[in-house]
Amino acid sequence: MSITIKNTEDITKMRIAGKLASEVLDYITEFVKPGISTDEIDKLCHEFMVKEQGTIPAPLNYAPPGHSPYPKSVCTSINNQICHGIPSPKILKKGDIVNIDVTVIKDGYHGDTSRMFYAGEPSIQAKRLCDITYECMWLGIYQVKPGNTLGDIGYAIQTHAESNGYSVVREFCGHGIGKVFHEEPQVLHYGNKGFGEELVEGMIFTIEPMINAGKKDIKMLPDGWTVVTKDRSLSAQWEHTILVTKKSFEVLTVSKGTPLEPHLFKS
Domains and CATH numbers, the chain: 8-265 (3.90.230.10)
| Integer CA distances (angstroms), 16 to 59, 105, 108, 149, in order | 18, 10, 11, 27
State the Cα–Cα distance between residues 78 and 116, nearest whole angstrom.
Answer: 9
Q: What DSSP character marks residue 100?
A: E
- Looking at residue 267, what is its pLDDT? 43
pLDDT mean over 56-78: 96
Residues counted in the chain: 267
pLDDT above 90 for 181:
yes
Report the distance separating Cα 165 and Cα 58, nearest Å: 34
Q: Quick: pLDDT tens for 140-174.
A: 999 999 999 999 999 999 999 999 999 999 999 99
Long-range interactions of 213-222: CB distance < 8 A, separation 24+: 213/125, 213/129, 213/166, 214/167, 215/167, 216/167, 216/168, 216/169, 216/170, 218/82, 218/169, 218/171
Helix, strand, or coil here: 242?
strand
**pLDDT tens per residue, range 1-49:** 599 999 999 999 999 999 999 999 999 999 999 999 999 999 999 999 9
Asked if 111 and 20 count as a contact pair (C-beta separation under 8 A), the reply is yes
Angstrom distance (rounded) from CA 42 to CA 106:
19
- Average pLDDT over the chain reads 96
Q: Rounded to two decimals, what is the model's pTM?
A: 0.96
Please list the residues that pair with 113 across neighbouring strands. 102
Helix (H, G, I), strand (E, B) or coil at 198: strand
The answer to whether the bond into 185 is cis (omega within 30° of 0) is yes
Q: Distance between CA atoms of 1 and 185, rounded to whole angstroms? A: 9
Average pLDDT estimate for 53-60: 98
